[in-house]
Amino acid sequence: MNAVIIFADGFEECEGLLFVDVLRRAEIPITTVSISDSLTVHSLHDVDVKADALLKDVKPEDFDVCIVPGGFIGMDNLKASAETREFVQAFDKQDKPIAAVCSGPAVLKSYGVGEGHKVTSHFSVKEEIAPTDFVDQSVVEDGKLITGNGMAASIPAALALVEKMKGREARDATAHAIAYVE
């Protein structure tokens, strides 16, 4: 199984890179993609990250899971990208797992992804989530969606994704390897 995580300028680097780290520790291939024409993505807190590929050069069919990190500037850049919208919507249409943290769930909702699924998000964007869909928890799993409410939820959300992709044993081994205690 292969995962893809989408980086836009202004993404929250800890959220994004924690998913990359946890999945790679679980031996799940993950590709970082930039939505711009540059592999270098400038994060919310002035950290430049070099993506593995450009979004325009990859296809949803090449991946089993899509991840959308938060970051308020990144959120706006993701919402403004028609190419990213189509890419993420393809995962939804194919009923593939999608994970999002912090403001990432608001991006999903703006794309019409995950309608009717329970989600969480950062409190500052919860108004963008339908009141009947919002759950005030750290991590919410509902069907194919895994959402986290902020940076602190990135590790448990990533571990939930490991479990969805490789099972409980892989999730527990990865949690142990990073000394994560619930």
102 noted as active-site residue:
yes
- Token pair, residue 154, equals 């990135």
117 noted as active-site residue:
no
Active-site residue, from 14, 102, 117, 176: 102
User: Which residues, in sequence order, are CB contacts of 69 under 8 Å at separation 6+?
Assistant: 5, 6, 7, 11, 12, 15, 16, 19, 100, 101, 102, 104, 154
Active-site residue, from 14, 42, 117, 122: 122
- Token pair, residue 105, equals 């769930």
Pairwise CA distance, residues 168 & 38, whole Å: 37
**Residues identified as active-site:** 102, 122
